[in-house]
A and B are shown apart, each in its own frame.
Chain A
Amino acid sequence: MANISGDKNIESVDYNAIEAMESFNKFVKKKNTFLFSITAAFLLLYILLPILAFQPVLQQKVFGNITGVWVYSAGLFIMTIVLCTVYVKKAASFDKAAAAVLAEYHAKGGK
């Protein structure tokens, strides 16, 4: 079973050296840009619901008696599933990038 409390074993990792690597910074920047732009987008779409819900635009009936607020909410459910799938795919590529950074670090002689 994984021993997650043994931080002392890896004192030898030179964090400064990794942090100074160009490939590391490029990867982190790319990752954070992706994470925060998507987060900003879904939070905006989300918080528009309680704002627009009280406006005529979402109070109109869309299908039969189903009003706009329900349709918008359903859209947010679908958005959640879609963005979840997008993240899982994208994260796999981030994992590869992180592994590449560490491989580069080890290749340079880091422990």
Chain B
Amino acid sequence: MNLVSVGFFLAIVSLTLVVTFIAAKRTSSAADFYTAGGGLKGWQNGFAIAGDYLSAAAFLGVSGAIALTGFDGFFFSVGYVVANLVLLYIIAEPMRNLGRYTLADMLTSRFNEKRIRGVAATGTIIIVILYMIAQLVGAGALIKLLFGIEYWIAVLIVGVMMTTYVLFGGMTATSWVQIIKASLLLFGTGLLATLVLIKFDFSLMKMFDTIAVDHGEKFLVPGMKYTSTIDSVSMMMALVLGTSGLPHILMRFFTVKDAKTARSSISWTTWITAIFFSLTIFLGFGALNFVGIDKILAESKAGNTAAPLLANFLGGDVLMAFIGAVAFATILAVVSGLVLTGASAISHDIYGEIIKGGKLTEKQQVVAARTGSISIAIVSIILALFAQNLNVSFLVSFAFCIGASANLPVILYTIYWKKFNSTGAIAAMVTGLVSCLVLGAMGPNVWSPVEGAAIFVGNPIVPLAVPAVITIPLGFIAGYLGSVLSSSKVPQEEADRIYKEIRVKANTGVSVSDVSH
């Protein structure tokens, strides 16, 4: 443990805590807690969404994957960037026009049924927990590398901090922590990429030549990780469509006042992520060339410490300490957003709306929100303590898979399909969720003939690491069949009336703009 690391670490922690205590003064209602009162500006929310995208998996994971597997790692970068367009073109604006705090709110604007809310909230909680365990395990490993403290202490530190941000500052604090972290991360990666480029005389050609000659041409084409087309297609589908179904991303559209601001948020996010993920090439190839594969593998088999090691080569302890602190801020910000999203599903959807029938006073809602935050944090911390040796990147890809297969079909049908009904919604969500979990449990991340490579020894029944190519169509088909087969049971006149209302609201934003003054 060195003093520079501790210094950067404390600076970032104090900065975010100050923000939290300023935000705490403004957090008095449930709307403040969950959605910062809907008062974020486009650029602020854009940075915050970018913050959600640029999780530890994106920063540490992608640069490590490029260093170890060349182009195969860059597939992720392409997926994260193009995913912005799906959000921008078909999700962001109708989502803002129809929703209040959660995904379930948006769905129940069309089907006011407790079972819809229950299933949607369950899906949200599962995605949040999978995502959160991955982040917490990553945080534990990173802090251990930087400070040499025990894994369980590291997880507890992160756990306590994220709960503090959420508990006191709610969505306002969480958003500002994301904005600070996204800015630091852009600066840090920009700096590393520039230093790498200087080493190659600012020549992209020279960098690729060096990689080809010194490390082999296999780094320049896919095939080191993904050996089949279908495997990579499946992964890519999960990335581009899953982003639009991730509850913590969707929740961010409720933090702005109207559809126009939601659109401007995503426009900001698109630029930030496009710049950031372009730079991952330099981080990955820089680490491969200057740190070397053996040294990267020695620190972490998944390559998760490639970026901090590159920083160490380029700028010594000081730069490594800075990048490490930025990575720590990244994890803290992402887990805070996840805690808030999980809490919204537990406290608002399950407790407030389903159990109490929406009859909570403002004060009770805020108490419920804080209680929900503490419970989701405790559950995740306990699970993360047991998950230390789990391969975490597959947890994240599962979360994307569920988002794409269970949430996206329902969202699209709710906004755009007249004949969609509540049976179809339940069918789509349950089918998407269950098929991801079942096919995933039969896949190569759980079963491997090589001992120690997965949880169980044996041949995987499903050869796909991410089963999205099967589960996404299943989710859409289930939603379609469920609606068509049950159409006779639905009172058609009432259903038509509600769909017309949804159609007008989604396309004109009439309800949102009318109540804002």
Residues of A within 8 A of B (CB): 1-7, 9-10, 13, 15-16, 18-19, 24, 27-28, 31-32, 35-36, 38-39, 42-43, 46-47, 49-51, 53-54, 58-59, 61, 63-67, 69-70, 73, 76-77, 79-81, 83-84, 87-88, 91, 95, 98, 101-102
Contacts and interface: CB of A to CB of B under 8 A. Distances in A.
23 contacts: A3-B31, A3-B38, A4-B254, A7-B515, A13-B511, A13-B514, A18-B504, A18-B508, A19-B501, A28-B507, A43-B86, A46-B82, A50-B75, A65-B209, A65-B211, A73-B78, A76-B82, A77-B278, A87-B267, A88-B264, A98-B507, A98-B508, A101-B508
B178 interface: no
Contact of B515 (A4, A61, A80, A83): A4
Contact of B236 (A24, A46, A84, A88): A46
Contact of A66 (B31, B35, B208, B510): B208
B508 A64 contact: no
Given A65-B208, A65-B212, 6 more contacts: A42-B82, A47-B236, A65-B211, A79-B82, A80-B81, A87-B88
B516 A3 contact: yes
A84 B85 contact: yes
Nearest to A99: B508
Contact of A9 (B204, B264, B515): B515
A49 B236 CA distance: 9
Contacts of B508: 18, 24, 98, 101-102
A65 B221 CA distance: 10
Interface in B242-274: 254, 257-258, 260, 263-264, 266-267, 270-271, 274
Given A4-B254, A5-B31, A31 B274 contact: no
Interface majority SS on A: helix, strand, loop or mixed?
A: helix
Interface of B: 31, 35, 37-39, 71, 74-75, 77-78, 81-82, 84-86, 88-90, 93, 100, 204-205, 208-209, 211-212, 217, 220-223, 226, 228-229, 232-233, 235-237, 240, 254, 257-258, 260, 263-264, 266-267, 270-271, 274, 277-278, 281, 416, 497, 500-501, 503-505, 507-512, 514-517
A8 to B, nearest CB: 9
A91 B229 contact: no
A77 B271 CA distance: 10
Contacts of B39: 1-2
B175 to A, nearest CB: 14
Contacts of B240: 43, 46-47
B37 to A, nearest CB: 5
B222 A19 contact: no
Contact of B504 (A2, A3, A19, A49): A19
